[in-house]
Amino acid sequence: MGLGLVAGLLACCVWLVKGVIEMASAVKRDGRAVVTTCGGCYADCAFAARVEDGRVAAELPVPGHPCAARALCARGRHRLAMPFDERDRIVHPMRRRADGSGFDVISWDEAFAQIAECLLGIVDGHGPRALGMTLGVPSFDRYWAYRFMHALGSPNVYGADGACEVSRLTGWEHSLGYSPASDLAHTDCIMYLGRSIVDSSTMGAVDALNDARRRGAKIIVVDPRRSGSAALADRWLRVRPGCDLALLLGIAHVLVAEDLYDHEFVDRYATGFDELAQAASAWTPEWAESMCDVPAAEIVATARDLAAAAPAAVVDAGFHGGIGIAYANSTQTARAICLVDVLLGCIGHAGGALNPPTPLSLGDLDPTRFATPPVPREPKLGSERYPLVDPVRGLCTTIGQSILAGDLRGLIVYASNPGAGYGNAQLGWVFCSSSTCL
Ligand code: SF4
């Protein structure tokens, strides 16, 4: 086994120690609570941190904060406790012994010096594009990760989205231009495909879903299993795994055949309706049932529910692997969601599918102290093999092939686990055995 595992351990170590530093800097010594954010996932839930019996305690909500939350979720609460429990984590840099018999603790100075020597050796010997980085949860860390790699001249920063939602995003980007967010606060009917807000989302989203139910909004959940969201749904459609696409096409058929679609919206904004109508004639509910196991009568009723509430009705765009992590038809499934939402006329409409707001601007760093490195012009390694994928995003699942091809000579594994977490599992061994990993 080569240095890949060391890279993972070092990355894990840096991440955890960083958590301690973040936590310590977030809490003033005078005992007053200081507002900060969790950073355990995209949501960045805000809380006021304060020291209580030598540990960090969180006070919520923080009124007026753009990421205000009612409570931290289980992961957020665990993350608060992590820095104070050293039993389950590594608190020093570790270096694998040359004979592979185990690891030795080394100093931070030694670790950074060796990492720097190795990184610069790769850049000098093979060019900066031979260097890559994988990221886990893309919180504010992402900002620094990009700056670091760009300073070295490498474009190869890969988020985990390539392992879970690039197929979905690609479908939306080629159909609408962006992946919309459902306006849960105003919708009268919402349909989720494989996504369970109750089991896997922020506390705020769970509140919003419950508020929608109390308002009388109809909740439709498509899921092979009885998820927490399916349990509270008005309609639970038990689809055959990987066959959501057929269900959506069946719904599109009903909307067209029963003339339930939004003519004005389609005429004004859509292209190719005549071709769609022709193709949709074959997507009967009975055909869809034969493909996806959802009874034809349920498909018809679902289409009518959505149409009755439109344009304050929406088929949710999904989130990460929410429409199937990496099925061969996931991109087409996303396109079919867009198709149904367009037929409902709900794009850009209250209660429908909205263009998500631009992320908060954090302002600029002082350029005299922190010059912004130029963004490398070359595309990320692997982009050329998947031309439909946004080359700025890249595809982390191509990393194994890039290593095997000798194009990628060094990989910084940062709070992520490519060997176990990415698709194309046959290549997982590359990350554990490659001597090119740092
Ligand atoms: S949803 Fe949970 S993990 Fe994510 S930021 Fe909020 S508390 Fe942290």
Nearest to 316 by CA among 162, 197, 161, 160: 197
Residue 75 CB–ligand 1 contact under 6 Å: yes
> What are the phi and psi torsion angles at 330 (to 5°)?
-65, -40
Q: Determine the average pLDDT of the residues in 322-335.
A: 82
Residue 315's CB is within 10 A of a number of other CB atoms, namely 30
Q: How far is CA 1 from CA 92, 105, 114, 430, in A?
A: 21, 19, 19, 10
- Residue ranges and CATH numbers for the domains of the chain are 4-84 (no CATH), 107-163+361-433 (3.40.50.740), 180-353 (3.40.228.10)
393 confidence band (pLDDT: 50, 70, 90) = confident
Q: How far is the CA of 67 from the centre of ligand 1 (A)?
A: 10
Which amino acid residue places its CA nearest to atom 5 of ligand 1?
44
25 confidence band (pLDDT: 50, 70, 90) = very low
Q: Determine the average pLDDT of the residues in 106-113.
A: 95
Indicate the SS3 state at residue 64. coil
Q: Which of 22, 23, 41, 80 to mutate to test the pocket of ligand 1 (most atoms within 8 A of CB)?
A: 41
Pairing of strands 34-37, 46-52: antiparallel
pLDDT at 114 exceeding the cut of 50:
yes
Q: Which of 72, 80, 201 to mutate to test the pocket of ligand 1 (most atoms within 8 A of CB)?
A: 72
DSSP designation for 355: P
Contact 137/11 with Cβ under 8 angstroms?
no
Residue 202 CB–ligand 1 contact under 6 Å: yes
Give the residue, 201 or 152, on which the prediction is more confident.
Answer: 152
Atom index in ligand 1 nearest the CA of residue 69 equals 6
Instruction: Note the pLDDT of residue 18.
Output: 46
pLDDT at 53 exceeding the cut of 60:
yes
Radius of gyration of the chain (CA): 24
Give the residue, 30 or 180, on which the prediction is more confident.
Answer: 180
Residue 193 CB–ligand 1 contact under 6 Å: no
* C-alpha span between 179 and 353 (Å, rounded): 9
Q: Determine the average pLDDT of the residues in 65-71.
A: 85
Least confident of 21-30, 37-46, 153-162, 401-410: 21-30
pLDDT at 265 exceeding the cut of 80:
yes
